[in-house]
Amino acid sequence: MKYKNKNKAILLLEDGTVFHGKSIGFSGTKGGEICFNTGMTGYQEVYTDPSYYGQIMVNTNAHIGNYGVHPDESESDSPKIFGVVINAFSDDYSRGQAVDNLNNYLIKHEIPGICDVDTRKIVRHIRNKGAMNAIISSEISDIDELKRELAKVPSMEGLELSSYVSTKEPYEMGLEGGIKLAVMDYGIKSSILKQLIQRGFRCKVFPSNATFKDTEEWNPQAYFLSNGPGDPGVMTDAINNSKQIIESGKPLFGICLGHQLIALANGIKTFKMHNGHRGLNQPVLNTESGRSEITSQNHGFSIVTEDVEKSSLVVATHLNLNDNTVEGLRMKDKKVFSVQYHPESSPGPHDSRYLFDQFISLIN
């Protein structure tokens, strides 16, 4: 059913492009980096993924909101996006298991949005022009005033954001007596923890600022570096911490931001991508098995391919079949590996969940 709200909203892009539509969710003004996700399902999982902190999400799927929201489909305690851009929005839902409509959910968590805009045009624009900041407002109609507000929004490049979404205190999950895994939380998704716990890990989740000394006091058998938002290149403490974990000789697995931190710890630089990879259908080649995987991805930074090719410490294990960026690493003489994409795939295909089993096999 067509959304009935008649309140107006504006989306202003950093390059001055303006889109007019209807207000959805929370009434207000919010800026962030605009990006798009090509997934046809899983909007609640996307909105609550901590890696999206600081970003305005454009859903390329035309219809959003039609199956409501459910607490079991959240990847964190609340939405982490700063705003949402939708073509056809529905505040009615047909799924009996849903507990509320998406509009109420966005209002509750103070997430502003805009609908009844041409999302195909917006995606084509930012796909061609590259990543940029944007601002959504349902309260400011003067474009010059909006431009002044938008100018206050910092660039994603150079931002450390994991501390905003990480746990503040350590906590444990999983069965007593399981494999002791120290999890560095830079913005971890709950579905990653579920995959680890299902395989017999006893996880202790540490804040992003925890030191190697802090984690070693628990005497873990292995380490995991999580996904998260922001620019990995400025995370000096996390990079140094990763180096110490690697030097310990204990098995280490990294996903997304964790992958980039492992790369940086091995002298491989990262860079801001033109657009990034965000969706549920990114094709990846496992260069060691020769098999391809359809993967779920969400990242705006990547590691420098030339640095990997020159490295004496690591080898590339996975490549993106769309643009040939490196999607996976393995250290040559350590029990350390990582992938840029999300093998837990929530939402998305389950082609890559074997990586969690691969991690188990590295632990004595």
Strands 8-13 and 132-137 come out as: antiparallel
CA 316 to the chain's CA centroid: 22
* Four-point Cα dihedral 184, 190, 195, 196, nearest 10: 30
Q: Which residues are catalytic?
A: 256, 342, 344
* Beta-bridge partners for 32: 134
Instruction: Summarize the chain as % helix, strand, coil (round to 5).
Output: 25, 35, 40
DSSP 41: S
Pinpoint the alpha helices (H) of the chain: 43-47, 102-108, 119-129, 143-150, 162-165, 190-198, 212-216, 236-248, 257-265, 305-310, 354-361
Least Cα distance to 147 among 15, 7, 26, 53 occurs for 15
Token pair recorded at residue 50: 């901590």
Cα(203)–Cα(111) distance, integer angstroms: 31
- Residues 349 and 280: beta-carbon distance below 8 Å: yes
Cα(15)–Cα(133) distance, integer angstroms: 9
Cα(143)–Cα(130) distance, integer angstroms: 22
Cα(17)–Cα(67) distance, integer angstroms: 32
Cα(118)–Cα(115) distance, integer angstroms: 9
Cα(187)–Cα(184) distance, integer angstroms: 9
